[in-house]
């Protein structure tokens, strides 16, 4: 049948935003609890982070735990509450707009979106480095850049397929992720049992965070824990936001905590700190601890996992560009949906173009391994700042929408107002600490802090400047048309009943 879409009418505080109205009518609901958990893990959990952490020795373990307590748990509780209060497409954009106003909503959405450009510029290099490790090969600079761009556009091509098809791929690879984690951890335990731990164990190092000697690890930890809000970019595509959202946060957080801790431990037990490659170390340890051939197979497997994870990034983050088009922060072209796949094609393509430009520009200036980590540092700064746009809105929502809290039943942070303030205070302090250690302390031993700050600061400033340009010129262009004109092409989409699956899988 053909469904007519009307632009939202003016009203008061509870007037529906365009992005709360339109996606519900034109996007298929296919995201199950298991699928959301897999997506959550793929977005947040990059076990290459275990390589950097393992170089810090046993003190990496209390740093992981501290990051979980001061950031992951507060952030997870905040987004679960806000996602239940406003279960629409756009996540942080809606939450910030509803509580802080439209301009702050754009800023929060932009800061939450820009990491996909940086991550998509660094992830092809990660894939390539694991493939080079698997085949014991080396390539020249020009060829590595060409292959990285080719890998990125292969990911883009897959991301343009139907969400249901992508979800099946993610669900399958999620199981493989667990198998790889088990191989790394078991190989590490067996090696340590036979030969002793490569990095000697001390209770003090394993229990007390060492900020004086390894403070950079805290910034690294928070980088590898950011992204809890990202699946809510697809809120209109959940089968049930209020049912699946909190479960996704709980199950996904448990999964990524286990993956990180087990792979870090496995690497620490096998490789001395000065022999841990900052990208491939988590797999390279299998060359020492596992039978011949295991490392090579594992490297190919992890390359495939990162490929699928990058696909999930492209799919999930493209929704924020789509939302910006719907809200007329960007021109109408960014609201274009493929009639068959229901994917925002233009949004996915523009992400690919921006990341390709970064790959060509940055990887021609320094080593592949170093630029990969530089990009992750710059990514961490921008992404952590976006956390304020789902931490502060919890406090504002409790006050501004007190009537909804009194009348509706949905998951919320326990402890009432006191519980909310404690959660936000802890999350804010953790976020500020992460921003400092992401910018001021080098994550690479051979790179001085001054060089690190120059690279990460330049990357972050460049991304902020891009945001200003997008806001000014995008707004100016988009306001040349009415909201009705911007939505006109969506009104004729043929919504088929078959696209909406029946009951939600758990």
Determine the average pLDDT of the residues in 439-451: 83
Q: Is the pLDDT assigned to residue 286 strictly greater than 50?
A: yes
Do residues 413 and 81 touch, judged by C-beta distance below 8 A?
A: yes
Query: Which pLDDT score, from 0 to 100, does residue 179 have?
Result: 95
**Residue 387 Rama label (left phi>0; alpha psi -120 to 50; beta):** alpha
* Helix or strand run (H / E) with residue 307: helix 294-326
Q: What DSSP line would sit under 33-56, residue for residue?
A: HHHHHHHHHHHH--TTHHHHHHTT
Q: What is the DSSP string of 167-184?
A: HHHHHHHHHHHHHHHHHH
Calculate the CA dihedral of residues 69, 70, 73, 79 and round it to 10 degrees.
180
pLDDT tens column, 93-148: 999 999 999 889 988 888 888 888 888 888 898 999 999 999 999 888 889 889 99
> For residue 306, which of 111, 154, 485 has the smallest C-alpha distance?
154
Please compute the mean of the pLDDT values over residues 373-390 and round it to a whole number.
85
* pLDDT above 60 (res 268): yes
Q: Does domain 26-492 have CATH number 1.10.3470.10?
A: no
The reported pLDDT for the residue numbered 375 is 77
Cα separation of 407 and 201, whole Å? Answer: 54
**Residue 378 pLDDT > 50:** yes
Please give the pLDDT value at position 451.
Answer: 87
pLDDT of residue 2 exceeding 50, the answer is no
In this prediction, residue 3 carries a pLDDT of: 43
Q: What angle do CA 294, 46, 147 make, to 5 degrees?
A: 75
pLDDT reading at 364 higher than 70: no
- For residue 11, pLDDT over 70 is answered with no
Residue 211 pLDDT exceeds 50? yes
Categorize the per-residue pLDDT at 294 as very low, low, confident or very high, splitting at 50, 70 and 90: very high
Q: How many residues does the chain have?
A: 506
Per-residue model confidence (pLDDT) at position 1: 34
Residue from 344, 128, 319 nearest 231 by CA? 319
Question: What number is the average pLDDT over the span 243-267?
Answer: 95
**Per-residue pLDDT reduced to its tens digit, 314-342:** 999 999 988 888 888 877 788 888 888 88
pLDDT at 263 over 90: yes
CA 329 to chain centroid, in Å, comes to: 22
Q: Spell out the domain ranges in the chain.
A: 26-492
The pTM (predicted TM-score) of the whole model is 0.87
């Amino acid at each position: 049948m053909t469904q007519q879409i009307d632009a939202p009418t003016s009203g008061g505080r509870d007037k529906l935003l365009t992005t709360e109205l339109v996606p519900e009518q034109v996007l298929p609901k296919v995201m199950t609890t298991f699928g959301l958990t897999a997506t959550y893990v793929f977005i947040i959990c990059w076990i290459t982070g275990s390589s950097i952490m393992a170089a810090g020795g046993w003190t990496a373990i209390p740093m992981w735990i501290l990051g979980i307590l001061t950031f992951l748990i507060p952030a997870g509780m905040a987004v679960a509450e806000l996602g239940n209060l406003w279960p629409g497409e756009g996540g942080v954009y809606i939450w910030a707009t509803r509580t802080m106003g439209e301009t702050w909503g754009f800023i929060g959405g932009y800061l939450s979106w820009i990491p996909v450009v940086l991550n998509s510029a660094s992830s092809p290099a990660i894939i390539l480095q694991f493939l080079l490790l698997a085949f014991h090969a080396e390539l020249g600079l020009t060829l590595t850049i060409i292959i990285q761009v080719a890998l990125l556009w292969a990911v883009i091509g897959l991301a343009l397929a139907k969400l249901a098809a992508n979800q099946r791929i993610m669900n399958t690879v999620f199981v493989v992720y667990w198998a790889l984690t088990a191989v790394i951890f078991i190989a590490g335990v067996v090696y340590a049992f036979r030969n002793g731990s490569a990095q000697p164990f001390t209770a003090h190092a394993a229990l007390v965070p060492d900020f004086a000697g390894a403070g950079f690890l805290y910034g690294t930890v928070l980088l590898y824990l950011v992204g809890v809000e990202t699946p809510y970019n697809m809120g209109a595509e959940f089968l049930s936001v209020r049912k699946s959202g909190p479960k996704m946060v709980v199950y996904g957080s448990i999964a990524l905590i286990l993956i990180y801790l087990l792979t870090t431990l496995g690497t620490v037990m096998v490789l001395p700190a000065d022999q841990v490659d900052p990208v491939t170390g988590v797999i390279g340890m299998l060359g020492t601890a596992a039978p011949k051939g295991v490392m090579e197979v594992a490297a190919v497997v992890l390359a495939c996992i990162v490929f699928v994870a990058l696909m999930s990034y492209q799919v999930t983050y493209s929704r924020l560009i789509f939302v910006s088009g719907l809200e007329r922060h960007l021109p109408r072209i960014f609201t274009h949906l493929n009639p068959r796949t229901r994917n925002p094609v233009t949004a996915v393509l523009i992400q690919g173009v921006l990341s390709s430009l970064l790959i060509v520009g940055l990887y021609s200036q320094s080593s592949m391994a170093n630029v990969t980590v530089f990009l992750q540092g710059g990514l961490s700064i921008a992404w952590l700042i976006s956390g304020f746009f789902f931490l502060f809105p919890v406090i504002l929502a409790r006050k501004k929408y007190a009537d909804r809290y009194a009348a509706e039943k949905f998951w919320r942070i326990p402890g009432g107002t006191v519980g909310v303030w404690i959660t936000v205070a802890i999350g804010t302090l953790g976020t500020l600490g992460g921003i400092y250690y992401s910018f001021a302390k080098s994550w690479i031993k051979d790179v001085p802090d001054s060089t690190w700050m120059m690279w990460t600061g330049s990357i972050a400033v460049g991304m902020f400047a891009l945001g200003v340009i997008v806001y000014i010129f995008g707004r100016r262009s988009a306001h040349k048309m009415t909201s009705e004109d911007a939505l006109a092409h969506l009104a004729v989409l043929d919504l088929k009943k078959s696209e909406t699956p029946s009951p939600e899988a758990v």
